[in-house]
Amino acid sequence: MKQKIKLLFFILFSTSLLSSCITYSFTGASIPPSAKTISISYFENNADFINPTLSETLTSALKDRFTSQSSLTLIPSGGDLQFEGQITNYKTSPQAIQGDDFAALTRLTVTVKIKFTNLIEPENNFETSFTAYEDYNSELDLVTVQDGLIETIKEMLIDDIFNKAVVNW
């Protein structure tokens, strides 16, 4: 009986010790327990070709990801974790050129440059570009397929940014 109590105490002690080092969530995020706030600045659109809703779409999506998958409080500026970003590329390019020099597919590519500042663990800071793309049938007009393409590209970009910032696998 005494050994069972000691074992139970050891397990509880070990669990509390480990859980105090890193905050872990089912999303795989490893956020320092002392980090309480996050700030995400509006992503300016500095691409040559501008989609008028893309800045708001990407900024809101990153905010939504952190508010839904972490316990961090979103504040306007000065958070323990900080994101700044800009859209640097938004372009289409032909893909899968056929024998008649006609492209069967067109690729929409979006690149976002992100600066991440972690005031708690500065060794995790980074400034890098993330690129995602989606192909569509060249016979279709970009305007008609753009919203669906952007939805897919947005998810890929937000996954990559979130994972680079807080998933330490």
**2 band by pLDDT with thresholds 50, 70 and 90:** low
pLDDT at 7 over 80: no
Alpha-carbon gap, residue 143 to 21, rounded angstroms: 49
Looking at domain 34-166, what is its CATH homologous superfamily? Lipoprotein like domain (3.30.160.150)
Average pLDDT, the chain: 87
**115 band by pLDDT with thresholds 50, 70 and 90:** very high
**21 band by pLDDT with thresholds 50, 70 and 90:** very low
Predicted local confidence at residue 62, as pLDDT: 98
Predicted local confidence at residue 169, as pLDDT: 53
pLDDT at 121 over 80: yes
Q: What integer is the mean pLDDT of 7-30?
A: 48
Predicted local confidence at residue 19, as pLDDT: 45
pLDDT at 30 over 50: yes
pLDDT at 4 over 70: no
